Amino acid sequence: VPLMGLAVLIGWRRRALREAADPSRRRRRRAYRFALDRIDPTRRDGAGTVTTRDVAQALLRFYSDRYNRSAHGQLRADILATLQDDGVDAPLAEEYLALLDECDRSRYTPGDSDGASPELIARTREVLSRIERAK
Kindly write down the DSSP assignment for every residue of the chain, as one continuous string.
Answer: -HHHHHHHHHHHHHHHHHHHH-HHHHHHHHHHHHHHHHT-GGG-STT---BHHHHHHHHHHHHHHHHTS--TT--HHHHHHHHHHTT--HHHHHHHHHHHHHHHHHHHSTT---BPPHHHHHHHHHHHHHHHH--
Return the pLDDT at 18: 85
pLDDT digits (tens, 9 = 90+) for 19-55: 888 877 788 888 888 888 888 877 655 567 888 888 9
79 Cβ neighbours under 8 A, 6+ residues apart? 63, 71, 93, 96, 97
Beta bridge partners of 115: 51
Residue 58, by phi and psi: left (phi above 0), alpha (psi -120 to 50) or beta? alpha
pLDDT digits (tens, 9 = 90+) for 89-103: 999 999 999 999 999
Q: At 38, phi and psi to the nearest 5? A: -65, -30
Q: Global pTM?
A: 0.78
